[in-house]
Amino acid sequence: MGYDFKIHPYARFKLHSIMPYIPGEPIEIAAKKLGLDPKMFIKLASNENPLGPSPLAMEVIKKEIEKLNLYPDDSFYYLKKKLSKLYDVPEDWIIIGNGSVEIIKMLASAFLEPGEGCMFSEHSFIMYKIATLSAGGYFVSIPEKNYKHDIEKFIRELSKKERFDIKIIFIDNPSNPLGTYLTKDEVDYFIKEVEKLRGESIILVFDQAYQEYIDEKDYPDVLEYVKKMKNIVVLHTFSKIYGLAGLRVGYAIAHPYIINALLRIRLPFNVNRLAQLAALTAVDDKEHIEKSKKVNNEGKAYLYSEFEKLGIFYLKSLTNFIFVDLKDEKLTKKIHENLLKKGIIVRPLRAYNLNTALRISIGTMEQNQRLIGALKEILKK
Ligand SMILES: *Cc1c(COP(=O)(O)O)cnc(C)c1O
């Protein structure tokens, strides 16, 4: 797919092996290609909040538009204060990024010397790979076990001599695109074992993009470790439950040793005015958060039961999407293409080398029912 793009032969060697990030297609473009009305389209491809942005956030940024001639607050005075209170950490333990993807990139750039490496699961969020390669590093990808991060394999790999140049481990918890998670016990064990091998010299990044959706009692609170150790990073985003993907805001919490390293390579004014204000407001929009969670939980239960009736293999998910595996490449392609013709965009996972799988974001109940109706029609044919 992405390899089609020719690049200048003088571009850095490593860049030749990067497959550019391929996002879910925007509704306008997908509709236009098919000659259909964008209004009849639903997008269940990028794990966006189907209820829209926080209404309170939308309201406040209207007035902010008048200030767009002014640079944004590069110290993030209000947003850092807010997050500092929310997590009970000092403000200098926080960095704000242009989406959490920017922070992922900063981490790789700040910690990898050329030729050093990162480690993550084979089907983890694809940005870890892109960030690693673009920083001139190499990666070790660890196959999952029963669709979950295989922490034993991580530890075994990390204990090899030739892996002493691994600087960062990225764990998306829960995983994207699988939706599965490591429990508190597993994370406790993992952090302890890594510490035995490498002390605090290796950066452990826990990407918790979906945390606000999660009620499971055994889901770990990594923040406790962040507060105690100098090598743990937790990543968060405003793109998911807060519904602000279009504005691009994410943040990381870690020991100032790490934050200060990232600040040295951060571009000035990396998060715009509207984004900062919207994020600040969305944090307190409890009504929108609760409603989003409820719609997601109901949609998830509905989709589970319908997939079961249809005999479609799926993974239980802690997120706002569900991983389904149709176990047949032709069928997967047929479903993806025919859903598109019916105005429903889901995410094929070819970029992850999962040619028989789809990632389907949970929509509103109406959207979920339309999806299931369409699936039934396609499978009948
Ligand atoms: C969606 C997602 C993000 C969010 O990225 P942003 O740049 O903040 O929009 C980060 N990590 C994972 C695992 C995700 O699924």
CATH assignment at residue 129: 3.40.640.10
CA angle 185, 190, 193 (to 5 degrees): 125
Enclosing domain of residue 115: 55-282
Query: Which residue, judged by its Cα, is nearest atom 3 of ligand 1?
Result: 209
Whether the model clears a pTM of 0.85, i.e. scores above it, the answer is yes
Contacts of 124 (CB under 8 A, 6+ apart): 141, 149, 170, 171, 172, 175, 176
CA pair distance 337, 348, nearest whole angstrom: 10
CA proximity to 183, closest of 195, 171, 194, 169: 171
Give me ligand 1 centre to Cα 75, in Å: 23
Model pLDDT, residue 30: 84
Query: How many C-beta neighbours within 10 Å does residue 129 have?
Result: 23
Q: Which residue has the tokens 């002390």?
A: 199
Give me ligand 1 centre to Cα 161, in Å: 32
Q: Is 100 in the pocket of ligand 1 (CB under 6 A)?
A: yes
Q: Is 345 in the pocket of ligand 1 (CB under 6 A)?
A: no
Q: Is 361 in the pocket of ligand 1 (CB under 6 A)?
A: no
Q: Is 120 in the pocket of ligand 1 (CB under 6 A)?
A: no
Residue 253's Cα: distance from chain center in Å?
A: 16
In a domain, 3, yes or no: no
- Let me know: does 213 contact 319? Beta carbons within 8 Å: yes
CA pair distance 342, 359, nearest whole angstrom: 17
Q: Which of 266, 282, 298 is the last residue of a domain?
A: 282
Is residue 351 located within the same domain as residue 309? Answer: yes
Alpha helices in 95-237 (DSSP H): 100-111, 127-134, 151-158, 184-198, 223-228
Instruction: Give, for all 381 residues of the chain, the pLDDT tens digit.
Output: 344 568 888 888 888 888 777 777 788 888 888 888 888 899 999 999 999 999 999 999 999 999 999 999 999 999 999 999 999 999 999 999 999 999 999 999 999 998 899 999 999 999 999 999 999 999 999 999 999 999 999 999 999 999 999 999 999 999 999 999 999 999 999 999 999 999 999 999 999 999 999 999 999 989 999 999 999 999 999 999 999 999 999 999 999 999 999 999 999 999 999 999 999 999 999 999 999 999 999 999 999 999 999 999 999 999 999 999 999 999 999 999 999 999 999 999 988 899 999 999 999 999 999 999 999 999 998
What total of structural domains would you count in the chain? 2
In a domain, 179, yes or no: yes
In a domain, 306, yes or no: yes
Q: Is 176 in the pocket of ligand 1 (CB under 6 A)?
A: yes
Q: Is 320 in the pocket of ligand 1 (CB under 6 A)?
A: no
Query: How many C-beta neighbours within 10 Å does residue 43 have?
Result: 20
pLDDT in tens, 140-151: 999 999 999 999
Query: Which residue, judged by its Cα, is nearest atom 12 of ligand 1?
Result: 209
Is residue 74 located within the same domain as residue 123? Answer: yes
Atom number, ligand 1, closest to the C-alpha of residue 47:
1
The CA distances from residue 229 to 159, 260, 361, in Å, are 21, 15, 35
Is residue 318 located within the same domain as residue 215? Answer: no
Q: Which of 244, 261, 282 is the last residue of a domain?
A: 282
Is residue 158 located within the same domain as residue 137? Answer: yes
